[in-house]
Amino acid sequence: MTLARTGDLVGGPGAVLAFNVITLEHAEGIADGLSAAGVGGILQVSENAVRFHGGRMAALVAACREVAAAADVPVSVHLDHVQDLALARDVVAEAGRLGISSLMVDAAHLSYEDNVATTAELATAGHAQGLWVEAELGEIGGKDGAHAPGVRTDPDEAASFVAGTGVDGLAVAVGSSHAMTTATARLDHDLIARLAERLPVPLVLHGSSGVPVDGLRAAVAAGIRKINVGTALNVGYTAQVRRYLAGDEKVTDPRKYLAGARDAVRDTVRELAGALA
């Protein structure tokens, strides 16, 4: 199947799942899981993942592009949580060649005024290249606890932000938190509904690994249209590697344990995609 475009996937009924890629095994497992569930989805590469691979964005994205294009279901490639403006501008300039159809501009660490200005600049440039552009207003709970867990997106401020930036999707703070390893987060579904009614663009939920499936279903019913998942994949991936190494301390061929890690990612994706289909 040909490479899909994120804008088309987000524009469909219900919500599209977007899964974080760190290694090739992640990308392959995600694509296999989506194919097994019979639903399309998004391979997303974060700025942190690009740094992990020595800044070699083109090589990492090329692998995702080829995996996505070979999938049996529509899959697109998205660059997530871009704070480095130089990287964001490179993505915009090279998007067509790289196969990226969307990016998330993460300028939420800036003042509101600077966030609007930076995001508007990149949204305008991205649209000129046919990109679907996501942004963030209201910090999602941080990995190191730097953000207060009670942070919520204000509907009026969000409406002003969307109008001032021209973004195509907005990541909202409604009770989720990045890097949660247990599904115990309680979302504010009433706030999601108010945001969906107030805003003319799709709502994006980050930190979805920490939300139980019934909470995700309710979030979709309330108006969430893109669901980002990362930590849940890593939990299964790492657990499988640990199990294999614990049972065979002499193994040296990484294919022996990475095959199981890839399968664990596939199974997690298939189960979640099936549950939300």
Residues placed in the known binding site: 81, 106, 136, 178, 206
The string of DSSP letters for 86-129 reads HHHHHHHHHHHHHT--EEEE--TTS-HHHHHHHHHHHHHHHHHT
**Annotated catalytic residue 156:** no
Instruction: Give the number of other CB atoms < 10 A from CB of residue 155.
Output: 16
Tokens for 187, please give them: 């979302």
Active-site residue (options: 80, 168, 188, 263)? 80
Known binding residues for Zn(2+) are 81, 106, 136, 178, 206
Phi, psi of 169 (to 5 degrees): -155, 150
Instruction: Give the number of other CB atoms < 10 A from CB of residue 226.
Output: 27
Is 225 in contact with 172 (CB distance < 8 Å)? no
Tokens for 149, please give them: 């867990």
The string of DSSP letters for 149-167 reads TT----HHHHHHHHHHH--
CA distances for 72 relative to 31, 36, 41, 262, angstroms = 8, 9, 11, 17
The catalytic residues are 80
